[in-house]
Every structure is written in C-alpha cells, then in structure tokens.
Amino acid sequence: MQIEIVTIGNEVLSGRTVDTNFAWLARALERASVQVAWHTTVGDSAERIGEALKRALERAGGVVMMGGLGPTPDDLTRKAVATVLARPLQLDEAVLAHVRERAKRSGRSLPASIESMALLPRGAEAWISPAGSAPGLLIVQGEKPVILLPGVPHELEALATEYVVPYLRQRTGRAVETFTLRTFGAFESQLHERIGARPQRWAGAVLAYLPSYFGVDLRVTVAGPAGSQVAEVAARARAELLELVGSVVYAEGEHTMEEVVGEALLARSWRMATAESCTAGLLAKRVTDVPGSSRYFDRGFVTYSNEAKVELLGVGEADLATHGAVSAPVAEQMARGARHRAGVELGVAITGVAGPEGGSTEKPVGTVFVALSTPEGEAVRRFHFAGSRATIRERSAQIALDLARRRLLGLPLDAQLEEPPGPTAGLAPRPASRAAAKPAARPASPRRRAPGAPDEGGQAGD
C-alpha cells in the first residue's frame, strides 16, 4: 500500500520545528511494508488541512495525518476532517473519560477546552493513547484508512507502535526487505565508482547512498509481491556489497559507531577513558549514549584549558609551549594520560581547532589530532575537516570512534577501500567469528588527510 503522510502545524511549515515525527513514522511504516509515497505539510488552517486530505485520498491508498489534535484554538484537524468527509463531530464518552482521568492524574489544573479532544468525526474509531490525552483516530473512508495522530512525539510514537503499524501491516500484502550497510572512510563518489551498476542485477532492488557526517550508509530495499524472492535477492545484494566495499563497513542497520566500539570493548574486557579538548565532552557523550556503557566507560577528561591538560592529564608544559595544544605530541600525551590516570586499557584523545576563531596558516580551522593509547601501543593521526564548528566537532568524534574501533578489532588503522574481491573484515565480527578479523597488515603511517576525512560533505554533487 502506498500512503500519504500529512504533517499539520505552522511551527513545522515555518521551519521552527524540524519534522522528526515524519522521519520516525516513515521508518516505522517501512518495517510494516507500507511505503510512504507522498509527504505534505500544511499549516494550522482548516481549509488547507481539508485540501490536503482530499488530495491525499485521490492519489494514495491511505492517509496518516499528524498534528492539530490538541485542545487549543489552533488545533483544527478534527474539525477539518469532519467537514471534508461529511462526518460531524460527536462526543465520545470513552475518550472523554480518558481525557478527564489523565487531567486528574496530572494534578494540574487544565483548561476546560481539553475536553474538546473527545469530539470525534462520526464513525471514527478511537485508539486510546498509552502516553497522553489525545487519542489516535481511525476512519475508513471508501476502503481507504484515514488515521489521525497527535503531533507530540512520544504520544505519536506510542500510538503508532501500538495501533497504526499493526493495523497497516495487516492490510498490506507486499513483501519488502531492506538492509543498510554503514560505511565510514570513503567518499560517496568512491563507493559509487566501486559499486557501479551492480544493483541492476538485483531484481526489484534499489540502492540508496545516504551520506552524513557519520559516513555513507548504503541502503538496499527489495520489494515484490508477497511470496516472491525478496529475501533471497536481499541476501545476495548484501553479500555482493560486502565483497565490494566491506573494508569500510563498520555496522549494519541502525547500529551506531559507539555501539560497535562498546561491543568491541566488552569483547576484549577493556575499559576506556576519553580526553577531549575541541569536542569538549561530545565524544564521552556519544560513548555513553549507549545504555549500559558504564560497563566499559570509566571517565572522561574535558580539558579545555591548557592548565587542565597539564593538571588532569600530565601533558608537558614544554610541549604545549613548543608544539601548541593542537599538535600530535599533545594529543598523544592526552590519550596516554587518560588511560593511565583512569587505569583503563584504552585512552582516546581529541584536540583541534573547531573554529570559527583560533586558526593559523599552519593549523587552519578544522585541523584535528586524534590519538589512541592502549597497552599494545599508541597512534596519532592528523585530519582536516571543512564545515562549521558543529560539523568539525561531530566529524572529530566520529573519526575518533572509528579509529578506536579499528584498533580494538585489529584492523588497519586508516580506512580505505580495498581491491575487490575484498575481505569483509571491516565489519565488526560477531563474537563467535572474531578470529576472522584481519590483523593490521600495512604500516599505519600518519598522513595529512585520510579518506575518512571528507571535506566536501563526502559526496560529489547531490
């Protein structure tokens, strides 16, 4: 089934609120084999909401509308839908009871208008929310489902998970297989050149290149009638991609770099500490985004000032004076200091010029040093990133995590596409097959710019 999602809200249309709800819902529906074919956003206007619904019913097999279900005067969705579908609003006693009960439970004095949330278009089925007052609504209009959801993210997510996805999954009869290989360290154009026209050999498959600061994700979607060979095609596509570009694949699916690093630490029973200057906590924050990270993350040193570098990490004052805070010797001492002072096996350090001020001819804004210290040895790399302060910091944290991952897994430290048929050693091996991980084979010489440091957005055109 191809559906249309309609987002309602001036705050989204004006760009003040980024529509993360849409992205979340589209991904949730994809897992239910429901394809989102159109997405429209309109403001808080009953006329525009009505037009959008009419248009969506013309072209799509179903419609999900998000937002405008609350109790304030700019919440117009129920009214607009009631008008367009000629289904007058009627009071729903079950919803009213739920709204009152939630209000009571909150212990806050809520405006009486909150009870307007119990007015539903005639014939609507109400899905009582596990997370809020506004219910989800289902109206079946001439065989096509029209679903209304509140725009509050956690309410939307709760209703979609509990009701919308199961309901739509049951209505579709199409098979979809999708997988994602996450790469880091190669440009999109390099991946494209290596992979070329190969996807044309995979029946019903589409390969998308998804570049971001975190690398380039390769997402393959295979679609076909229920009962067709979509699973087999997907498996073959995955194997061929790993053969072509496996040396820069760090994870699959929604697995993140910090999760891979955490698993690698657990596999070796190692603990880690961070030492950060320009990223100032971002690396530690990323590592601890993973639930349970206290099993392997001990502490982080955010040494923004030079005094902090000296006092907390034992960086030499002479080195700071001679080489500057943004230098290979200081990065190395930061990583070593973090490891020794925390008494852990892995120290990771970042020091750089995030900008917009502070650059020099020799070390322009975007110059970043990353160092690793382990009982097996130390390493430092210099990078140069283009972009804003935020971009430089995000990229620095990501490349530091990738270096840690490569060191932990015994991979070559510098990412590069290997000649096909290449090994799939870049992918974090499952614990059972760890022996297959390729040991560092080539000399890891420092260089000015690694392929892991795209400075034009990691892509050639668009």
Site for a copy of itself in 224-263 (CB under 8 A): none
Task: Give me the residues paired with residue 62 across strands.
Answer: 3
Residue among 305, 377, 446, 447 that touches a copy of itself (CB under 8 A): 305
Least gap, CB of 36 to a copy of itself (angstroms): 6
Closest to a copy of itself by CB, 242 vs 350, is 350
Least gap, CB of 142 to a copy of itself (angstroms): 22
CA 289/CA 293 separation, integer angstroms: 8
Least gap, CB of 283 to a copy of itself (angstroms): 7
Least gap, CB of 260 to a copy of itself (angstroms): 18
Task: Give me the residues paired with residue 411 across strands.
Answer: none
CA 461/CA 188 separation, integer angstroms: 10
CA 247/CA 425 separation, integer angstroms: 6
Least gap, CB of 74 to a copy of itself (angstroms): 7
Q: Contact 370/277 with Cβ under 8 angstroms?
A: no
Where does this chain touch a copy of itself (CB under 8 A) — which range of 245-253, 273-281, 404-412, 414-422? 273-281
**Number of residues counted as binding a copy of itself (CB under 8 A):** 111
Tell me the C-alpha to C-alpha distance, in Å, between residue 79 and each of 38, 63, 160, 298, 383.
23, 16, 22, 54, 56
CA 44/CA 50 separation, integer angstroms: 11
Q: Is 134 a residue that touches a copy of itself (CB under 8 A)?
A: yes
Cβ atoms within 10 Å, residue 243: 14
Least gap, CB of 181 to a copy of itself (angstroms): 13
Residue among 97, 206, 239, 441 that touches a copy of itself (CB under 8 A): 206
Closest to a copy of itself by CB, 280 vs 437, is 280
- Burial zone of 31 (CB within 10 Å; 0-12 exposed, 13-18 middle, 19+ buried): exposed
Q: Contact 301/313 with Cβ under 8 angstroms?
A: yes
Q: Is 161 a residue that touches a copy of itself (CB under 8 A)?
A: no
Helix, strand, or coil (residue 409): helix
Q: Is 43 a residue that touches a copy of itself (CB under 8 A)?
A: yes
Q: Is 323 a residue that touches a copy of itself (CB under 8 A)?
A: no
Residue among 312, 328, 440, 444 that touches a copy of itself (CB under 8 A): 312
Site string for a copy of itself, 394-433 (x = CB under 8 A): ----------------------------------------
Least gap, CB of 437 to a copy of itself (angstroms): 27
The angle that helices 188-195 and 230-245 make with each other, rounded to 10 degrees, is: 120
Q: Which of residues 430-459 bind a copy of itself (CB under 8 A)?
A: 456-457, 459
Q: Contact 148/69 with Cβ under 8 angstroms?
A: yes
Q: Is 10 a residue that touches a copy of itself (CB under 8 A)?
A: yes
Closest to a copy of itself by CB, 291 vs 443, is 291
Where does this chain touch a copy of itself (CB under 8 A) — which range of 152-160, 165-173, 408-416, 438-446? 152-160
CA 73/CA 68 separation, integer angstroms: 9
Site string for a copy of itself, 57-76 (x = CB under 8 A): ----------xxxxxx-xx-
| β 144-149/62-66 pair status | parallel
456: nearest Cα among 189, 276, 195? 189
CA 7/CA 22 separation, integer angstroms: 7
Residue among 285, 323, 434, 438 that touches a copy of itself (CB under 8 A): 285
Q: Which of residues 324-383 bind a copy of itself (CB under 8 A)?
A: 342-343, 355-357
Residue among 340, 389, 434, 438 that touches a copy of itself (CB under 8 A): 389
Closest to a copy of itself by CB, 114 vs 266, is 114
Q: Is 287 a residue that touches a copy of itself (CB under 8 A)?
A: yes
CA 26/CA 373 separation, integer angstroms: 42
Cβ atoms within 10 Å, residue 38: 15
Closest to a copy of itself by CB, 74 vs 317, is 74
DSSP 68-117: --SSSTT--HHHHHHHHTT--EEE-HHHHHHHHHHHHHHTS---GGGGGG
Where does this chain touch a copy of itself (CB under 8 A) — which range of 162-170, 286-294, 369-377, 409-417? 286-294
Residue among 263, 276, 332, 414 that touches a copy of itself (CB under 8 A): 276
Q: Is 187 a residue that touches a copy of itself (CB under 8 A)?
A: yes
Q: Contact 21/8 with Cβ under 8 angstroms?
A: no
- Burial zone of 120 (CB within 10 Å; 0-12 exposed, 13-18 middle, 19+ buried): buried
Residue among 106, 161, 322, 360 that touches a copy of itself (CB under 8 A): 106
